[in-house]
Structure 1
Amino acid sequence: MNAAMEPDLNALLAQDPAPAGLYLLIDRSQHDPLLGLWDGPVPEQAIHPLRDLLFEAAPERAPALLDPAAWPDMSSRLRLSWLQNMLWAYDRTINSLSEYYLSGWLLADAPAAEVADHLSRLLPQQHPSGELRHLRVYDPQVFHLLIEKLPAEQRRALLGPVRHWWYSAKAKQLAVVSADPAQRPPPGGFLLPDHTWHWLEILPDILLMRYLLPLLQDAAEGRLPARELDLDRAAAWLDLARARGWTRAGDEAAGYAVLLELLGPDDAELPALLALLEVCRAPDYPAGLYNYLIFQFQSQDWPRVLDTIRPRRHRNFRS
């Protein structure tokens, strides 16, 4: 990967709204993002559905590669709006944890059909258990995780014929991963390493943490350290959370892990914190720990809860 080779997508589109080899990867599993954006059907030559057994019974819901250059009636203004819609979709996801529909821009030295064929081969992956699983490589969060955790050779195999892959990494920002055309992917295609499956399994909890953590940091009136959560630290907090048995609901481990990130592992045994955890685990409690923290943020009561857990005079902040 070479940062010097990473072009700016806005500048690229400003020069030519439909450059050859620039494709849009879309997720249609929940909703087709093409609906309502065009009067009339999408030209058949512009859309390339990916093949996967998961969508065998409903091919219209399969992810697809859109080739704007093969859409002769699409205006330059509409082509540019795809980028704006992509950024809006990610900003909406950050604020609502909704699904992605617009997954990424891909620039390749290959026709759309060849790129779609490569992406199709990425989707079915063998789990260490021997089962065949579906890899949501078209989900920007999954793709971002793979880019962070795969070695360079595997990243090249992941990109295949794609030279530049832009995707949503932060609110209203695009990240780009680039491949050196002089370094061809290894033969045999892409095989997901066994250790990567663990990261994919904990990714939903990590996403919950990344959503809630900055909200509580901002609402703490400057009394908590503000830093971004990296994957290794998030995994460590989740391991500690699961060691305490906070897995009653899907978000329980994430809620406790957020508290560990905010307070530090030294505070994990605070009596007030343990009491709060027990309240949220009660069978008759209407919401789990994660939803409790969301509610306290929304009600602007998080500073009081923080003082209850760890009074100000006993703070021991970490840098």
Structure 2
Amino acid sequence: MFRATACVLALAIVSGAVGQTRPVQWMSSPADAIKVAKRTQKPLLFFVPGQDLGDLDDQQQVVLRDAFVRDYIGDRFIGARLTRSTNNADLFTKWNAPTKYGQYMLVVTPSGDLVGQIGAEVIARKDQFIGALTGNFRKYRSALYEKELLPQFQGEKLNRNNISKALGYIKSFIITDADKMLGEFAARTDIDKGTRKRVYETLAELSTNAAVASLAKAAESDTDAQAALKKVTPAAAAQLAESALVVNGEVRVYVYEAVAAVAKVRDAKPARFWETADAEAKQAEIERVAKEIREDAGKWNERWADIR
């Protein structure tokens, strides 16, 4: 999900540079929002409006109309407005939230547990706000993984449907906590080819050092792992180019193909090139591809490294 929306967010960055857009769309019914959250397993982001904020309110409106912020929230949270009405009094009591003053946001699990609170001054500053959203989302997804997803991969008897659902959430929410576990799980002999392929694809989405190391090892003998290796992030591909492209003086063609695919290298060399080309030509090609992926990785890290 997040990789699929990366293009949307990238477009939002461009449009946001030109001008502000429509604001974040908040659901009006907390009960309906909770139903959606339970269905999608996304955390809730409740916006509690305040009064007499002065300039702070204007600053918040600028942030909440920012295209990147809007899409970031829509991608990761179920957003809803939470008013201080008597109908919602029990929720404020449950979360020990201020009922008579202030404007703030609450991050809540689908089951109703409070994850964190974001204050008005933070909401008014885009970078701090995105950082707070990211921190709360990471806290939520780590707890989700430990409590509900990890157990699906443990034990001798495995339920394929439950594993498939768990992989979907790990991939969609980019739950990097699962990287080492999935690397070990992919090596199990009691899982079918289809499940193993989904594990590889999930490892590619995570693209941590551990995830990519597991993929690269599996790719030595598994074409599904080789295909997944072509879907890692630019930062992960740059690490591959540095550490796994050439081993003991020999070029690993499948690693080259993966790096070239991620970098969208023009005129990438076919496999036969590495069989017939001389050493100078091979080195030139290695340096060309490595340079392109380093540049892509730099841009990717600047935009995504701190907010995944």
Fold similarity call, TM over 0.5? no
Q: Give the structure-1-normalised TM-score.
A: 0.30
Greater share of helix = 2
Q: Give the structure-2-normalised TM-score.
A: 0.31
